[in-house]
Amino acid sequence: MAETIEQIRSFINTSNLTTSNHTNTGQSRHVITLNAEIVYQAQFNPALLELINRADLVTPDGAGVVWASRYLGQPVPERVTGIDLINALAPVAEAAGWKVFLLGAAPGVAAEAGQKLRKRYPRLSIVGTYHGYWQLDSAEEQKILELIEQTRPDLLLVALGAPRQEFWIRRQLDLGRLKVPVSIGVGGSLDVISGRVQRAPAWMRRLQLEWLGRLIREPWRWRRMLALPKFVFRVWRQGRQRIKCC
C-alpha cells in the first residue's frame, strides 16, 4: 500500500508542478483497481484490455489477482482494494491539503461518504460530491464535468462500478474534459464508507474470502461471480503452458 500511495503522491505533485512560465504541467493520471472479474472480461474485450494497458497505475483489487501473479511467477506485493486505498489516501490527502471529489453511487451516497470522511479527518478538503445516476453525453454529465473543473480536485474518486467507471474516466481524459491530477475507479467503496453497506468481516478479509461475503450480501451477483472459476482455470492453464515451455 505504501508504494501505491507514494506513486499517487508523485502523480499529484508532478501534475501541480509549476513550470518556468508559471503554469501547471496539468498531467492527468488514471489509476485502476483491478479484480479477477475484469481481468477475465478483458480476455474477450479488446477495448477493455487496451484501457487497462493504458492506465498509469494498476493495483490488484482482489485475492484472485494476487494469487494469479504469484502462480505465474510475477508476484505483486499485496492486495490494494478501492476502499483500502481510500482509507489510506484520506489521511495523506488531509495532511497534504489535496482536494477530493466523490462521484458515483446512488443519490445521497457520495454526500454521506464525504460526511463520514470529514468526521474522521476534519481537515480533509472534499470539494464536491455527485451521484452516479445520469446518462452519458447528457446535460447532467456536462454539469458534472463543469463542477469538477470549477472545484479543481487533486483526486477524483469515481464509483460507477467496473468497468463502466474505467471507461468513463478514460473517455473524458481522451476528450480533454477531465483535467484532474489523479482519477481512480473505486467501485462500491462509497456505499461502504457511507455506512449503507457493510463490508465483509475482518476474518473473511484475512482469509481472502471477501468475495464470498459480498455474494452472501448481494446474491444477485452470482452470475458475475461465475467469472472467478473461469479466471482460475485460465490462469492454471497458462501456468501449465509456461512450465512446459520452460
Q: For the segment 38-47, what is each residue's pLDDT rounded down to a tens digit?
A: 988 998 999 9
Mean of per-residue pLDDT scores for the chain: 87
Question: What pLDDT score does 10 carry?
Answer: 96
The least confident of 90-104, 112-126, 171-185, 221-235 is 221-235
- Band (pLDDT 50/70/90 cuts) for residue 207 is low
The least confident of 49-63, 88-102, 214-228 is 214-228
Question: What pLDDT score does 244 carry?
Answer: 63
Does the pLDDT at position 148 exceed 80? Answer: yes
Whether residue 155 is contained in a domain is answered as: yes
Whether residue 20 is contained in a domain is answered as: no
Whether residue 16 is contained in a domain is answered as: no
Whether residue 5 is contained in a domain is answered as: no
The total of structural domains in the chain comes to 1
Question: What pLDDT score does 6 carry?
Answer: 97
Q: Which residue has the higher pLDDT, 121 or 239?
A: 121
Q: Residues 34, 58: contact at Cβ < 8 Å?
A: yes
Question: What pLDDT score does 21 carry?
Answer: 43
Q: Which residue has the higher pLDDT, 200 or 86?
A: 86
Question: Of the segments 16-25, 67-76, 148-157, which one has the largest average pLDDT value?
Answer: 148-157
Whether residue 10 is contained in a domain is answered as: no
* CATH number, position 180: 3.40.50
Q: Are β-strands 29-34 and 57-60 bridged in parallel, bridged antiparallel, or unpaired?
A: parallel
Write out pLDDT tens, residues 63-117. Answer: 778 878 877 888 788 888 899 999 999 999 999 999 999 999 999 999 999 999 9
For 202, the domain range is 26-245
Whether residue 14 is contained in a domain is answered as: no
The closest alpha carbon to 170, from 47, 81, 18, 82, belongs to 47
Q: Which residue has the higher pLDDT, 183 or 215?
A: 183
- Band (pLDDT 50/70/90 cuts) for residue 185 is very high
Whether residue 44 is contained in a domain is answered as: yes
Question: What pLDDT score does 212 carry?
Answer: 63
